[in-house]
Structure 1
Amino acid sequence: MPASSRTAAANASGGARQGSAGTPAAVLRAETPPAHYWRRWCEDAPAPELPAAEGAPAANEPLPQVLPHGDGADAPYRVLIVEDDPSQALFAETVLNGTGMQARVVGVSSEVMAAMEQFRPDLVLTDLHMPGLNGTEITTLIRAHAAFAHTPIVFLTGDPDPETQFEVLQVGADDFLTKPVRPRHLIAAVESRVRRARTLERQRSGDGRHPVTGLHTRTTMLQRLGAAIPEQARGALYFVEIENTTALRDRFGYAALEGALVDTGRHVGELAGEHLVSRLNDNTFVVFAAELAAREFGTFARSLRDGITRHQLTVEGEPLRLRALVGYASLHSGFEDAGAALAAAEQALRDARQLPVGIAAHQPPEAAAAEADADRVVMLHEALMNDRFELAYQPIVAVAGGEEAQYQTLLRLRDADGNMHTAAEILPVAEAAGVLHEIDRHVLELAIAILDQRVGESRPVRLFVSQSARTLTRDGYAATLLGMLEGTRIDGPSLVIDVRQDEALVHAVALQEFCSAMVPAGVQLCLSQYSAGPEADALLAQMPLGFMRLAARYSSQLGEGAVRDEMRAAIERAHRLGLQVIGQQVEDPQAAATLWISGVDYIQGNLVQHAAGGLDFDFQNSVL
């Protein structure tokens, strides 16, 4: 968005807020709401009950509660609201208190730290612009205290400027909610963040089981898998997914759905018996059946699916049965590490979604060299031994202009006869021949050498380096990358690891571990070939990304209204999460203009410059 447009939008937002606050009737209504008045906006609100006496709630009025979900403490969730506008503060306080949380308001920024020390909140909900301090300063102030290093900080703001939001996210904020926010969305966002924070705190303290369900924590499960694989070549790994949770959440509300999933988690633990069970995310469980015989793999999968289907729940007084999908991978396949086994089971789950029975087993690929073209396999091995890989570069230009130099790296192979081969020719053969991870590592080495050289020449550059998700999730690869960076003069954010969306979806669980290792080093991640969808949007929220590169179809099909609308919604979603958006394969000025109007941050494609062997693009004088 152009700076003038952002300013106008900000002024419009500020003007609307001031006008609302300046209306006496509106202030009166905001400061004197009846108990649980917020429920009237919620889709899952119960029928209103008449009070037994004027001003008092009915004895049988249902009180919506947000439970701690067994996250290590029975205490209600504590939320510190930092807001100088009394009506806004009262709104948030009333909404959160009405769910059973404990909300406290601070209206002066100088009192924030004293309130933090005294109240010890599970989450801070703060306005972006407070008198005396801005969002960056508030976040820095809180994060400077070790006791609050992991306390979630969520900003509630009407400021549409993505640059401002990105700055705050960079110094440690967790999320943004855009005003006006619906009460139901506010509750869900706060509750989800607090629940996750309490779970992580419990995991940091060394508790390996969920206190309510008795299931193993995700961290414990990954540790057990890592210790067992590849040494153990027996048993199987199962992914169990509960279907239609989005529709259930819309119907019953987040808290009711969460209660149903907690109950289901207990039941999965009972069905699994002696086998290890963990909840991976909102609606997916993993079962590690280490001692299961091969002849029982399919029977056990059906017992999980049917056992969940037969288990009757009661949600808000309504009987309910959930349907489950099951994907599993036999450990007899000899996976080289836990990440490979998890990826195989996750791929099987994706296959199960396409089958009427809802169960699928992982099918191991055939031996690589048998299917790969023998001559090309030889060429790859010779290239690795004789250092024949090269990098080409394509500029990524900011639509608002700027001098920051950044390029997408593109792999090239020069064979013994001097012929050049592109990544599209090389990588499928490399994957089939089992040497893709070696090529990925070689590409990283080349990119890091270039980055270090440019720093030494006082000409820093940012490089987007494509890597296979399968490579990133190999045991020890994160440590290898960090080792490459040691002793260099490279600033972490100048290296961006580029991962394709289709691969990230398959390896989502294992990728989290790689991401966790990269964040402290400042290495950024980009989700490439993004195409909107529920799974892709979940990735955007779950992974610590810095960039999102749109799929090529968004540039080539801009004449279709539905594609444009989908793209604009995707860009807006990414900006809310603090991500910068790249429009790729831009071939003509009309596509560039449409992308610019839609809000992308960067343009990449032949319109800017074809891929070349040098880093000599003039970013300072480039004009789109």
Structure 2
Amino acid sequence: MNTDAAQTSSRTEADVSRAREALKQHALTLARQWQALTVEGWNPAHGRGIQLAARQIVKASERLRLSLSRKAAELEEALRLFVETADAPESDQLAHLSGLISMLSSSALEVDLAPLQPDPAPARPQAPSGDAIAAARVVRRLGLVGLPESLTEPLAALAREQQLDLRILDNPQALEHETELPSALLFGASLIEPAAQLKRMINDSAGRLAQVHLALISDRRDLGRRLVANQLGLSFFEPPLDTAVLVESLGLTQGTTGGSKILLLDSDRNRGIEQAHWLQAEGCTVRLVMSTDELAVAFGEFRPNLVIVDNDLPVDEGLAAVQAVREWPGGLHLPIVVAGSSRDLRRREGAISAGADEYLIRPVRPRHLASVVSSRLDRARRWTARHAADAAAGKGLLVRSSFLQRLRQWTPRREAGVLFVTLDGADSLRRELGLAHLQAVDQLVTEHLAPTLGAADLLGQFQDFCYLVAAERTERHELMVLGEALRQSLEKVRGVLAGKRCELRCSVGVAPLKIEQIEQSVDQARAAALAAQNLGGNRSLAYDEGSNALKPAGREARAGAVLARPEEQPATMLGQPLLPVSARVAGQFLLTPCWPSAQNDQSALSYADVVKLGGDPRRLLMLDRRLILQALDLRANQLAKGRQLRLLLELHPGQLAHASFMPWLAAELKRRKLSGSGLALVLPSSLLVDHLEGLKSVTDSLHRLGVRVALGDFGRDLAAVPRLKLANVDLVLLAPEAVRSDGGQIEESALCGLIRRAQDANVQVVAREVERRDALASVERLGVDYVLSNTIAAPSTEFDFDFRGWTG
């Protein structure tokens, strides 16, 4: 027996020794990775290495039961954002990372644990004796039993805000010495057994202890204990903590269960607590925060019914907080009250413009604050009830006058639009069904349109077989998506009216909504819908205010969706071979990304289509990076098949201004074990005129990675031609209109001049759209290096062109 114990002890010491050595090795790796990063600058590869080392430290620390695991997990989480998005951290973020890494490295390297002896079996926690509990008097108090410090501090703050007495106990046995039993007891998750024993005592007390509420709380997610707690009938709380639910579960709301929840942002804690007490006296549950960062966290956890914002925060942070609340999910129509010390009318107007519903001038009296809060909450409840009723199936269709009246009272805070829905073939429907069945048609249409709409959207009838929708979304393209969704919802209708089977089709017009010009907005949407109907129907068109033109709404919706979520909609890569003429390098393809439509009657989206909607440079940046990754993966797959391809990919010039692009590209090439020579990035020739120095710098950086640089549409801007020799580029793609006459013939004099300029700069020339044999002979005679020809080799997804069989 002693031999077995000795062997167990030996194995335990060996395990600890190995874990300790592994921890130190991971700490050394962490320090080396950080040192390399500080020397070479930030790049995702080093960031990923640091993140991996931090993850290993978490595991090793947990095995050794060290508190380092929490800080290592914090470091891993902080790095996740920069590794996954390829964004470079700012100087203050780097300083924070540096502090975490220094602390972790030094602590892990200096760890000196005492020789491990087998731990004595921990004392099993016991519940207090039944006699002690029976003798105690129940008082309104919050008791925290066996909670870690990470939970004690926020719960103590909650007790102060709720005007609760607080009692902190180390273990359940301490309750035996209490003459007054807290009405709310919150046990640490590890004390689930004593909590269950105490609950049984309460159940056996014949109602004398019915006022005592028990719950368990954990500082991390714990599914196992949550399931056990549910079986025992105990409430279980874990991060993120909803304090309002916690207060209600423990019976601490003093009869205000189900009352309104107020989120109060005030930089003055004493003033905030005082106002919280006023509102609690009115039956509200209040959550107090003191900064905009705390506001952002609390908003998601607390889900308030009203927000009060301090307008005396520095640098207009209060107004920024109001605007942020309006952008957050659920905040669009939430009542917001702003309180400030300034009596300046401009401050009040600024708060209202930012999205506030009310502005209070300090000092605020309790009765005034309660009155304003009550009024705004009542108004919000009426608004919610009205719109919930409008959204219900069969009840959502407003008559035209009510719709327009409601629209005039609307205050959209985002991109708003009017959508006009008209049924195709209305005359034939009227003849077949008759006037008696118009109401049935309206009901059928409403049943299919209403589920597509949001709770705040309006649905009304314009006239027979014509309907109006008012909606607001975060971005314009989402209105186009809604228009397509409405059209498709009616396209699926297969109903029976007047004893006859009917299939509905509709045309949809979308126009921007201007509250001061509602009738004009409706007319524009109607014109777009009628135009869609005249084009054959069953389609949607959008009125573009900038160009006064009608554009396919479905196409814009698709392009906007690609920009918003490029990772969810990968491009189809078409490759067109560069046919060697004067040059002899084979295996080169010009990549053309496209996004085919799921519907046969819609053409594929091109890269140019998507870029036209690229108002947000960050989204274009993410799209371009996704395309580059697809190109690299394509080349890697072809290499695995034994094909050595060189790919040319068009790139938006804004990408190159981002400081993280070059490190990101280098890391992706290294991760895939690819050389940069298989990739060429095509930039616009206009950079020769507008940003020559930037182009030269970018070209040098790309060449260091082995990546070639090409300029597209060369010759379109004659001012760029003489500057070609100043930039060290590798290829130029000629603009078709620069070397071709109106009749389609090759302008040999113009082509000869461009080729001469390129040859002087030691740049290879690619001619596009060379479709005829005589044109091919001309460009070959003049010295063009490669040609692109749809007739000879059209773009394809196969990349299997036989360059050996190409004779030129």
Shorter-normalised TM range: 0.3 to 0.5
The TM-score, its normalising length taken from structure 1, stands at 0.38
